[in-house]
Structure 1
Amino acid sequence: MPRTTQPAPPRSRQRRALLLGGLAAPLATPGTAQVAPQAPAKVLRVMFNSAETSFDPARISDLYSRTVTAHIFESLYGYDHLARPARVVPRLADGMPEHNADFTVWTVKLKTGIVFADDPVFGGKPRPLVAADVAYGFLRAADPANKSSFASEVESWGLRGLNARRKAAMAPGTRFDYDTPLEGIQLLDAHTLRFVLDKPRPRFLTKLTFNSILPAQAREVVEHYGETIGEHPVGTGPFKLKQWVRGSKIVLERNPQFRELRYDAQPAADDADGHALLARFKGRRLPMVDQVEVAIIEENQPQWLSFLNGEIDALVANVGSVPLEFAPLAVPNGRLAPNLARRGVQLHRNLRADSALLFFNMDDPVVGGLAPEKVALRRALSLAYDADREIRLVRRGQAVPAQSPVMPGTRGYDPAFRSAMSAYDPARARALLDLYGYVDRDGDGFRELPDGRPLVLQMSTEPEQIYRLFNDVWRRCLLAIGVRCEFRIAQWPTNLKSAQGGTLQMWMLGDSAAEPDGQDALRRWYGPESGQGNLARFRLPAFDAIMDRMQTLPDGPERDALFLECKKLAAAYMPYKVLVHRIANELLHPWVGGYRRAPFWNDWWHMVDVDPALRAAHG
């Protein structure tokens, strides 16, 4: 799955918890034959802490919708559920791809016999997967009409002819050409694709794992449903959409057309837990559950109570781990609370491959730009911020300070690296502001701009209580250096839309790794992605040149040195203040088996089992 913008802390809007119980079984009528009871359906009940938006892979940018589509659609490749470090494995592909010596040509064969989930568009006949369906997913991401958040990423791969076709479709009155053969995505036969790139891409394989963004899609389904395609996801994956109550409830059911797929994995030789899971589940047909029910619970207390009451089975990272204010109750001193341990609750605690960060709009007349005084202002604001206070008071100790954009567990991350990104030095911040003319000219205790106009920052935020806590930390830190800050409150989707439009000055958000390579996170600093993944609109030719070079190099010392250069430039120009890497506290009830935290992907619902009898025994 690709990098996806998300709220920095967990969400906490007022919303009732959704109870996902079933109806009682009807009583038998006297005199009628008794029918042997069927085994109870296995239902996995999870939650999101923010609402979904759509289930059209080409048009969604939120993590929650992508988590759903990751279980409906499939890509050519995915990840081994148990292997650590991550290992790419075939999904729709029949084996690993072939590539030429310089990694510019990649050839992939598809498995035969795979069909899409049934849909009325298919007229009651099985619809087999073909190579054109995979190509169509790539083309939809490039089509300007879809406004895909992933379009600039696809552009950066240099699929020959695709960028020119995308540019031609931007002309008024012009539609994207889906039909003319494309050199960059060739259909060699019904089950073979060839990708031709303009430059070497040694890690192109990981791009073929993005099942929630670039999945195989049946063109006739998309064209039939048109603008409502987001309500009618039809894929080849283990589940299909059964019910959707927007912002409240999502139900997936087992896809009857899903091919026979058995549980298998290759955990590391010294991974005892992985081998125990493999021994327990190896050979089981997937998915192991019949249904997945997702409740949208945006307020923290109902999330916690819903888990304690057994109304949801798991609190897991990215979409809703243990709410911060309840972490001291759930995991005091980093250990599972005794009352939860007695109930058999499982704890998975880990440092996440993610970041919480604040961006400065580089096009903003106050905080933006590359002029020395503008760079000095951003660096001073960074030095004034006490991330340790945020971790202690707001995050309840469930984070570590960030030193760079590169996330834990990804290539390029160095736990020993230190930079000004995490430095807290208000005295130095005040001296820097003084040096560049941000001084208090009228004696009111607040600084003015170098030209004498008032210096007033505008930070966008959300209405929930936890954001008030974040705002209070920022307010205190900025007051300590004589800087005013106003907080503009709006709902998170509204802020995201405004950020994409370039109208926010400053905003906190979160970022999660999408693949094992750390360059993915650096794309937020990449000029060609300005206004898309790069919400700060940072454009520095020197940085872009390093990024382009990194794309073409194989992993090794030369590329690692370029990671270091990018980290230094990120801290020097400070278009983003990377705040923390978060710690995930994930809880699962004992009746859920087989869970293992996925570092870079979010399709796991089909890999776990639920024991209804054990659930019933726990009341």
Structure 2
Amino acid sequence: MSEPSQSPRTSDTLPSRERRQWLQAASLGGAGALLGGTSTEAVAGPGDSAGRPSKVLRYALRVAETGFDPAKVSDLYSHLIIANILEGLYEYDHLARPAKIRPCTAAAMPEISNDYRVFVVRLRPGIYFSSDPAFKGKKRELVAEDYIYALKRHADPANKSPIWGDYEELDFIGLNALREEALKSRKPFDYDRVVPGARALDRYTLRFELSQSRPRLVETLAVGDALGAVAREVVEFYGPEEIMGHPVGTGPFRLARWRRSSLIALERNPDYRERYYDAEPAADDAEGQALLARFKGRRLPMLDGVEVSIIEENQPRWLSFLNGEHNFLERLPEDFASIVIPGGHLAPNLSKQGLRAYRSLVSDIVLTSYNMEDPVIGGYTPEKIALRRAINLALDIPREIDLVRRGQGIPAQSMTVPNTTGYDPHFRSEMGQYDPARAKALLDIHGYTDQNGDGWRERPDGSPLKLVKRTQPDGQSRQLDELWQRNMNAIGIQIEFLSAKWPENLKACKAGNYQLWGLGLSATAPDGQGALASLYSPLVGSADYARFKNEAFDEIYRRMQVIPDGAEREALFRQAKRIAVTYAPYKFHLHRYVTDVTRPEVLGYRRGVFWQNWWQYIDIDTSLTRKA
């Protein structure tokens, strides 16, 4: 799954972000430099005898990060780290349900023109970057140009930003032209050129102007892990090779140590401004109101540090939590759901230990992407469409949910995800059907038959029909592959598996060097149009993993970008869903239930809906800490 974000997010009461406000790729299932030494211990601070800070959140991710330069990464796991170091102009209220955007470094919500083309944002003075050698011992104040520079870095061809397509579509006046000039001239990108559509009016004021109406631009500005402020002198100090390991921001934490694909240690940013716990949970939100009552007025962040390990296999990740080596388990491995949360509730033996479980239907989707440019499975002719539809009908999603995922999901009927505009829990389509008999009939009708008597179907012209699915070498991927093997055998289609690490598969997928691959996408804003980006042809090579091209769909997508939320836009969502089901460039599998588990010392946890900058709202009761 393209989980390891995927790159962006959406809201109910607020305008939804434009596309990369959409989905971040995440996984279904080299020797990097270690900053500050070769030890995996966190930076020393007030705390235990091992030199660890007193209040440290420790947990493990199942997929390795790629790096911490927002202009060069699109995976969920890298963006998680960035989101707690860099800050956007706006952010999501961490307790508000439905999602609500509020100022972060901005002094107030933007001033917006009546046609939704001009947005003026004023910064709050007196915010500073964390100290870094790039600043040569001086305090560095956040200014408007830092956000303009961050946006321009996505446009710079040299950075090959995997999410540039998101901003290209927004069409900040003059920015796309500046990028094209750099591409054609092959000269360095001109960062000093004033762009009419993205410029600083003065030290603390930004003005964005778009070529067309963009009612949901504020959602783009609320994703600090993509458009967080970046100081130009930091990038120039470390250079293009080292900047991935030197994120410097205005956020609550700073990177202390990094052992690539092994451990990421962060510490409280000592230069972080005075900020205090506050939120606006709904009046009938008992959990949110209780959290607000308990922590309101506490200075942020409450933690001294965070240690994030990389443990790809489910069992050792679970055991490290159970043994007290970690105090937070992000995403209980589905393998253990029947033991840990039987019937959806935490097992009594674990509850007695003070553990707490938090279960929620998350805004994501598990899917299979078909390369529409592949000579076997791609194409738009009736027989190619029939092949993909047959494969989709033959996939036993109920079994995947029940056995592989231990009941932790619901079948997906379309590409839109829960908690976003365009998602309709009552919508039904062929995507939600398991019908191997119908799959066989489709294959027979369109000439995919066993022509040489070897027991396997051939293509209509008699050439071999063999699927090659990219996969990962972890336990859950192996279970999913076994199910694929069984399902394809049942309809007479040969399939083989090409195993590689998740980042390698993502790179191959974006380059079009694959036939089919399973991934997951996560919403990063309330606007469901983010999910539609996976079928929008200008985004081939980035969000459009399937390399799908359909002018009727593209026209719907463009129309949706410029109109406010409402009945007209919902009708366009339905049209887009029908096109996706008809051509089947993807198989939409399921939306997942996720259960996070905390040890008794972890206080204040609540899973964010679209946002990842939640560490600052967590506290640790050191009197309850179990020594590892």
Which residue number in structure 2 is paired with residue 113 of structure 1?
126
Q: Deviations over 1:497-535 (max 9, x none)?
A: 111111100000110011011111110111010011111
Distance, in Å, in 1 between the alignment partners of 2:608 and 2:531 is 17
Q: Deviations over 1:242-299 (max 9, x none)?
A: 1111111111111111110010000001111111110100000000011111111112
Which residue number in structure 2 is paired with residue 599 of structure 1?
609
Q: Deviations over 1:18-66 (max 9, x none)?
A: 8989999679xxxxxxxxxx99721111221111111111111221111
Which residue number in structure 1 is paired with residue 162 of structure 2?
149
CA deviation after TM superposition for structure 1 residue 465, in Å: 2.4
Which residue number in structure 1 is paired with residue 20 of structure 2?
none
Which residue number in structure 2 is paired with residue 554 of structure 1?
564
**Alignment of 1:509 onto 2:509:** no
Equivalence map 1:482-521=2 (5 Å): 482-521=492-531
Question: What SS class does the counterpart of residue 171 from structure 1 fall into?
Answer: helix
User: Which of 305, 310, 314 is the aligned partner of 1:296?
Assistant: 310
Q: Deviations over 1:388-444 (max 9, x none)?
A: 111112111111110000001111111110001111111111111111111111122
Matching residue's letter, 2:188:
R
The verdict on how the C-alpha distance between 1:72 and 1:371 changes in structure 2, with shifts beyond 3 A counting, is same
Larger Rg, first or second structure (1 or 2): 1
The verdict on how the C-alpha distance between 1:40 and 1:183 changes in structure 2, with shifts beyond 3 A counting, is closer
The answer to whether the Cα contact below 8 Å between 2:93 and 2:102 also exists between their aligned partners in 1 is yes
Which residue number in structure 2 is paired with residue 134 of structure 1?
147
The answer to whether the Cα contact below 8 Å between 1:92 and 1:111 also exists between their aligned partners in 2 is yes
Question: What SS class does the counterpart of residue 224 from structure 2 fall into?
Answer: coil
Which residue number in structure 2 is paired with residue 48 of structure 1?
61
Equivalence map 1:203-214=2 (5 Å): 203-214=216-227
The verdict on how the C-alpha distance between 1:222 and 1:432 changes in structure 2, with shifts beyond 3 A counting, is same
Distance, in Å, in 1 between the alignment partners of 2:587 and 2:271 is 47
Listed as ranges, the gaps of 5+ residues in structure 1 are 10-17, 28-37
**Alignment of 1:420 onto 2:430:** yes
**Alignment of 1:4 onto 2:24:** yes
Distance, in Å, in 2 between the alignment partners of 1:164 and 1:26 is 57
Matching residue's letter, 2:131:
D
Matching residue's letter, 2:107:
D
Distance, in Å, in 2 between the alignment partners of 1:558 and 1:225 is 49
The answer to whether the Cα contact below 8 Å between 2:197 and 2:210 also exists between their aligned partners in 1 is yes
Which residue number in structure 2 is paired with residue 30 of structure 1?
none
Which residue number in structure 2 is paired with residue 217 of structure 1?
230
Distance, in Å, in 1 between the alignment partners of 2:287 and 2:606 is 9
Distance, in Å, in 1 between the alignment partners of 2:183 and 2:196 is 20
Listed as ranges, the gaps of 5+ residues in structure 2 are 1-6, 9-22, 30-39
The answer to whether the Cα contact below 8 Å between 1:19 and 1:311 also exists between their aligned partners in 2 is no
The answer to whether the Cα contact below 8 Å between 2:43 and 2:267 also exists between their aligned partners in 1 is no
The answer to whether the Cα contact below 8 Å between 1:50 and 1:296 also exists between their aligned partners in 2 is yes
Which residue number in structure 1 is paired with residue 421 of structure 2?
411
Matching residue's letter, 1:105:
V
Superposition RMSD on alpha carbons, in Å?
1.8
Question: What SS class does the counterpart of residue 213 from structure 1 fall into?
Answer: helix
User: Which of 350, 362, 379 is the aligned partner of 1:369?
Assistant: 379
Which residue number in structure 2 is paired with residue 570 of structure 1?
580
CA deviation after TM superposition for structure 1 residue 142, in Å: 1.2
Distance, in Å, in 2 between the alignment partners of 1:608 and 1:566 is 40
User: Which of 268, 284, 299 is the aligned partner of 1:254?
Assistant: 268
Distance, in Å, in 2 between the alignment partners of 1:243 and 1:489 is 30
Question: What SS class does the counterpart of residue 4 from structure 1 fall into?
Answer: strand
The verdict on how the C-alpha distance between 1:422 and 1:222 changes in structure 2, with shifts beyond 3 A counting, is same
**Alignment of 1:354 onto 2:364:** yes
Question: What SS class does the counterpart of residue 494 from structure 1 fall into?
Answer: helix
The verdict on how the C-alpha distance between 1:333 and 1:76 changes in structure 2, with shifts beyond 3 A counting, is same
Matching residue's letter, 1:168:
E
**Alignment of 1:281 onto 2:295:** yes
The verdict on how the C-alpha distance between 1:579 and 1:116 changes in structure 2, with shifts beyond 3 A counting, is same
Which residue number in structure 2 is paired with residue 200 of structure 1?
213
The answer to whether the Cα contact below 8 Å between 1:8 and 1:357 also exists between their aligned partners in 2 is no
Distance, in Å, in 1 between the alignment partners of 2:472 and 2:58 is 28
Which residue number in structure 2 is paired with residue 125 of structure 1?
138
The verdict on how the C-alpha distance between 1:171 and 1:40 changes in structure 2, with shifts beyond 3 A counting, is closer
Which residue number in structure 2 is paired with residue 159 of structure 1?
172
Distance, in Å, in 2 between the alignment partners of 1:467 and 1:180 is 48
Distance, in Å, in 1 between the alignment partners of 2:204 and 2:133 is 24
The verdict on how the C-alpha distance between 1:563 and 1:257 changes in structure 2, with shifts beyond 3 A counting, is same
Which residue number in structure 2 is paired with residue 438 of structure 1?
448
Distance, in Å, in 2 between the alignment partners of 1:443 and 1:562 is 47
- The alignment of Structure 1 onto Structure 2 pairs a total of residues equal to 596
The answer to whether the Cα contact below 8 Å between 2:395 and 2:484 also exists between their aligned partners in 1 is yes
Which residue number in structure 2 is paired with residue 33 of structure 1?
none
Question: What SS class does the counterpart of residue 580 from structure 1 fall into?
Answer: strand
The answer to whether the Cα contact below 8 Å between 1:20 and 1:45 also exists between their aligned partners in 2 is no
The answer to whether the Cα contact below 8 Å between 2:43 and 2:265 also exists between their aligned partners in 1 is no
Question: What SS class does the counterpart of residue 443 from structure 1 fall into?
Answer: coil
TM-score normalised by the chain length of structure 2: 0.93
Distance, in Å, in 1 between the alignment partners of 2:71 and 2:280 is 32
Question: What SS class does the counterpart of residue 509 from structure 1 fall into?
Answer: strand
CA deviation after TM superposition for structure 1 residue 481, in Å: 1.1
The verdict on how the C-alpha distance between 1:20 and 1:300 changes in structure 2, with shifts beyond 3 A counting, is farther
Matching residue's letter, 1:290:
D
Which residue number in structure 2 is paired with residue 267 of structure 1?
281
Distance, in Å, in 2 between the alignment partners of 1:461 and 1:19 is 33
Distance, in Å, in 2 between the alignment partners of 1:272 and 1:210 is 27
**Alignment of 1:97 onto 2:117:** no
Distance, in Å, in 2 between the alignment partners of 1:245 and 1:602 is 21
Matching residue's letter, 1:585:
T
Which residue number in structure 2 is paired with residue 463 of structure 1?
473
Superposed structure 1 runs of 4+ greater than 4 Å apart: 18-27
Which residue number in structure 1 is paired with residue 322 of structure 2?
308
CA deviation after TM superposition for structure 1 residue 365, in Å: 0.6
Question: What SS class does the counterpart of residue 184 from structure 2 fall into?
Answer: coil
The verdict on how the C-alpha distance between 1:40 and 1:26 changes in structure 2, with shifts beyond 3 A counting, is closer
CA deviation after TM superposition for structure 1 residue 129, in Å: 0.7
Which residue number in structure 2 is paired with residue 186 of structure 1?
199
Distance, in Å, in 2 between the alignment partners of 1:408 and 1:106 is 29
The answer to whether the Cα contact below 8 Å between 1:70 and 1:211 also exists between their aligned partners in 2 is yes
Distance, in Å, in 2 between the alignment partners of 1:254 and 1:488 is 42
Distance, in Å, in 2 between the alignment partners of 1:170 and 1:576 is 32
The verdict on how the C-alpha distance between 1:201 and 1:280 changes in structure 2, with shifts beyond 3 A counting, is same
Matching residue's letter, 1:4:
Q
The answer to whether the Cα contact below 8 Å between 1:355 and 1:578 also exists between their aligned partners in 2 is yes
Q: Deviations over 1:319-350 (max 9, x none)?
A: xx111211111101111100111111111101
Distance, in Å, in 2 between the alignment partners of 1:481 and 1:546 is 35
The verdict on how the C-alpha distance between 1:40 and 1:124 changes in structure 2, with shifts beyond 3 A counting, is closer
